[in-house]
A and B are shown apart, each in its own frame.
Chain A
Amino acid sequence: MTVPLSSCWTAVVNGEEKHLQIAQTTRLVDVLRTNLNLTGTKVSCEVGRCGACMVLMDGEPVNSCLVMAYQCVGSEITTIEGLHGEKEDELHPIQQAFLEEGGFQCGYCTPGMVISTKALLDRYPQPSQEQIETGLCGNLCRCTGYGGILRAVRTAGETCLNSSLLTTVVKKVNDQ
Chain B
Amino acid sequence: MLLNRDNSGNRWHLRPDGVGKVTGQLQYLTDMTLPDMIHGRVLRSSYPYARILSIDITGAEAMEGIFAVLTFKDVPGLNRFGIATPDQPVFCEDVVRYVGDAIAAVAADSPERAALAMESIKVEYEEWTPLDSTEAALAPGAPELHEHGPGNVLHRTEIKRGSVDEGFAACEYIVSETYYTPRQMHAYMETEGGLFVPDESGRLHVYAATQHGYKDRMQLSRIIGCPEEDIRVVSSPIGGSFGGKDELNVQPYGALLALRCGRPVKMHNSRKESVRAGLKRHPMKIEMQTGISREGMIQAHRVRITADTGAYATLGAPVLNFCTEHCLGPYSIPHVDVEGISVYTNNGVSGEFRGFGGNQAIFAMEGQMDRLAEMMNMDPWEFRRRNMREKTDPGPLNQRILVTDGLSQVWEAMDRSELWQKRKHQNSPEVLALPPWIKRGVGAAIAMHGAGLGYGIPDPAGGRLSLNAEGKIEVAFSYEEFGQGLIATLEMMLCDLFQCSTSDLSIIIGDTDRVPHSGSSTASRSTTMAWMALQRLQTPFRSKILSAASALSGIPADELITGIGGVWWQGQIAPEVTANDTKINSRFVVSYVDLAKHGETEDWIFDTQFEYPTTPDNVVGGHYLYTYAAVAAEVEVNTLTGEAKLLDTRHVVAAGPVINPMGFIGQIEGGSVMALGFTLTEDAVMQDSHYITSNLDTYLIPTIRDIHTNLEIEAIEDLPEGDSFGPRGIGEIGSVALAPAITAAIHQATGVWVNRLPVPRDQLIKPLDVPLQKGVSSS
Contact = CB atoms under 8 A, between A and B. Distances in A.
Interface of A: 33, 37-50, 52, 79-81, 83, 91, 95-96, 98-102, 104-111, 114, 132-134, 136-151
Contacts, number: 170
B705 interface: yes
Contacts of B18: 98-99, 104
A48 B697 CA distance: 8
Given A108-B190, A132-B704, A148-B666, A40 B25 contact: yes
Nearest to B33: A37
A104 B481 CA distance: 13
A95 B22 CA distance: 5
A105 B23 contact: no
A60 to B, nearest CB: 19
B665 interface: yes
Contact of A80 (B14, B17, B24, B673): B24
Interface stretch (B135-143, B238-246, B758-766): B238-246
Given A99-B18, A132-B704, A147 B711 contact: yes
Contacts of B547: none
Contacts of A33: 31
A142 to B, nearest CB: 5
A99 B26 CA distance: 14
Contact of A142 (B24, B33, B240): B240
A142 B27 contact: no
Provide the main secondary structure of the chain B interface: loop
Contacts of B20: 107
A48 B164 CA distance: 54
B190 A106 contact: yes
Contact of B711 (A101, A145, A149): A145
8 contacts: A47-B696, A96-B22, A105-B666, A107-B21, A137-B705, A140-B696, A142-B670, A142-B674
- Judged by DSSP, the binding face of A is loop
B189 A79 contact: no
Nearest to A79: B24
- For the complex of A and B, list the 9 residue pairs with the smallest distance between their C-beta atoms, beginning with the closest: A40-B24, A106-B483, A107-B21, A108-B239, A145-B669, A80-B24, A145-B673, A105-B483, A39-B31
A68 to B, nearest CB: 15
A102 B697 contact: no
A144 B669 contact: yes
B689 to A, nearest CB: 23
Given A105-B670, A107-B237, A143-B240, 15 more contacts: A39-B28, A42-B190, A45-B695, A47-B697, A49-B696, A81-B24, A99-B22, A104-B22, A111-B24, A137-B704, A140-B189, A143-B189, A144-B670, A145-B674, A149-B704
Contacts of B666: 102, 105, 143-145, 147-148
A142 B188 contact: yes
A45 B704 contact: no
B484 interface: yes
B194 interface: no
A30 to B, nearest CB: 9
Interface in B683-702: 695-697, 701-702
A100 B721 CA distance: 34
Interface in B27-86: 27-28, 31, 33
A105 B189 contact: no
Contacts of B15: 99, 102
A107 B669 contact: no
Contacts of A108: 28, 188-190, 239-240, 483
B650 to A, nearest CB: 13
A126 B604 CA distance: 54
Interface string B510-538: 00000000000000000000000000000
A39 B27 contact: yes
Given A101-B5, A144-B669, A106 B22 contact: no
A134 B238 CA distance: 28
Interface in B516-571: none
Given A39-B31, A147-B711, A140 B703 contact: yes
Nearest to A129: B709
A72 to B, nearest CB: 19
Interface string B651-691: 00000000000110110011111100000000000000000
Contacts of A104: 18, 21-22
Interface in B183-226: 186-191
Contacts of B705: 133-134, 137
A108 B19 CA distance: 13
Interface in B232-259: 237-240, 242
Contacts of A95: 22-23
